[in-house]
A and B are shown apart, each in its own frame.
Chain A
Amino acid sequence: EAQVTQNPRYLITVTGKKLTVTCSQNMNHEYMSWYRQDPGLGLRQIYYSMNVEVTDKGDVPEGYKVSRKEKRNFPLILESPSPNQTSLYFCASRIQGGDEKLFFGSGTQLSVL
């Protein structure tokens, strides 16, 4: 089944403790992206990747890192999480082409205490 898999689904952590949210897709998509979703603000792009070893900042990249060593994986890294990073995070992928639809993972609800 074609899908984008995110883990974990829920995560509670404390300020400053490094964490990684994993994202993997099995559709051979070139493009992958991370979003955060906050009430009243909609989805905001954190980072995106056009292909292996090609990443770029979205609209809200501060406090996040990403890597794209393999085509299928695009982990999101929070080196030193802070409470304002408490949010619902979605990974998404699509084939190359801006008019192509995004496939989203099931989301990661992160709480930073």
Chain B
Amino acid sequence: GQNIDQPTEMTATEGAIVQINCTYQTSGFNGLFWYQQHAGEAPTFLSYNVLDGLEEKGRFSSFLSRSKGYSYLLLKELQMKDSASYLCAVSPSGGYNKLIFGAGTRLAVHP
């Protein structure tokens, strides 16, 4: 079956660094997305990884290991506005029309 696992909740302190992990088991793999979703709002795109390694984009970085079925999102210099849910989503093989989402990780940033 298709399965994506993320921690349900995490807390962190303003200014710190936090790593949100995502492991997946899918029927093949095309790529992995991270989306941010503030409470009551729509998800918005953060990053896309298709090759192994780290992709850096400002304060946010995303890492992928295809052989381990593992990704993480790294958030640096945390700000209060980073309090949100972070959704990991995988595009399985032959499934460009489908995206399998994890349940999301709710991150609370405290002063």
Contacts and interface: CB of A to CB of B under 8 A. Distances in A.
B45 A102 contact: yes
Given A43-B87, A90-B43, A102 B99 contact: yes
Given A40-B103, A45-B99, A98-B96, A106 B45 contact: no
Given A90-B42, A98-B31, A104-B44, A42 B97 contact: no
B82 to A, nearest CB: 19
A106 B33 contact: no
B88 to A, nearest CB: 9
Most chain B beta-carbon contacts within 10 A, residue among A43, A59, A97: A43
Contact of B101 (A43, A50, A105, A107): A43
Nearest to B104: A42
A42 B102 contact: yes
Contacts of B89: 43
A40 B87 CA distance: 12
Interface string B32-48: 01010000111111001
A100 to B, nearest CB: 9
Contacts of B99: 45, 102
Given A42-B87, A90-B43, A107-B42, A98 B101 contact: no
B101 A44 contact: yes
A74 interface: no
Q: Which 3 residue pairs of A and B lie closest in terms of their CB atoms, listed nearest first? A: A98-B96, A104-B42, A101-B45
Interface of A: 31, 33, 35, 40-45, 48, 50, 56, 58-59, 90, 97-99, 101-107
